[in-house]
């Protein structure tokens, strides 16, 4: 059975509601959240819609990398990249919330050995990402590095 436009809209609305609850919890608890993300390093990534121009905020697990923040466009192993990935590629200058701080950053996609090293560490630290990799195949999950600009 194929997904209708209405199905896609409903799924997007559920995701938006879920993200809004995680963002609220993150901000209320100085960057900490519970549930499936209990104890995981979390970041709120601001991104501007590449088509709409609307600013959005997406909660993500991150990996610290030499003062920067690696994020993973896993979309839980879906066959397509998440919208925030496309938005950051189109508009790489943005901000992130880490704990109680807001940090200006610039996004860049990691490639080659640099990507492989970060991705392997992430799969070791959080094995669910290895499951996403299998589920997403043949899509290669992008890894973006959010580097502070100030």
Q: Are 125 and 82 within 8 A, CB to CB?
A: no
The pLDDT of residue 134: 97
pLDDT band at 138 (very low <50, low <70, confident <90, very high): very high
Instruction: Assess whether pLDDT exceeds 50 at residue 65.
Output: yes
């Amino acid at each position: 059975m194929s997904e209708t436009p209405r199905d896609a809209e409903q799924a997007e609305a559920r995701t938006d509601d879920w993200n809004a609850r995680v963002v609220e919890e993150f901000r209320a608890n100085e960057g900490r959240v519970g549930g499936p993300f209990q104890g995981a390093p979390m970041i709120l990534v601001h991104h501007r819609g590449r088509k709409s121009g609307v600013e959005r905020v997406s909660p993500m697990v991150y990996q610290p990398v030499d003062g920067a923040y690696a994020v993973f466009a896993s979309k839980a192993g879906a066959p397509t990249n998440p919208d925030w990935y496309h938005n950051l590629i189109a508009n790489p200058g943005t901000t992130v919330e880490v704990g109680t701080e807001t940090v200006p950053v610039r996004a860049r996609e990691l490639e080659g050995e640099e990507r492989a090293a970060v991705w392997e560490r992430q799969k070791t630290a959080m094995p669910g990402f290895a499951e996403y990799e299998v589920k997403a195949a043949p899509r290669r999950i992008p890894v973006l590095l959010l580097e502070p600009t100030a």
